[in-house]
Chain A
Amino acid sequence: MLSTDTDILATAEAWREAGRGVALATVIETWGSAPRPVGSHLIIDEEGNFLGSVSGGCVEGAVIAEAADVIEDGQPRVLEFGVADETAWRVGLSCGGRIRVLVEPVA
Chain B
Amino acid sequence: MPGWQIFYHELKDKNFEIVSVAQDTGGVKDAGPWIDKANPEYIALIDEQHLVTKLYSMVNVPTAVWINEQGKIVRANEVAFVDDRFKSYSHLDSGPYLEAIRDWVAKGARSSFILSEDELKKRLTPVSPDRLMADTEFSLAEYLYHAGHGTEAISHFKGAQRLPPDNWNYKRQAWLLSDADRDYGTNFTKEVQKLNGKPYYAPRQMPEPANKPN
Do A and B interact? no
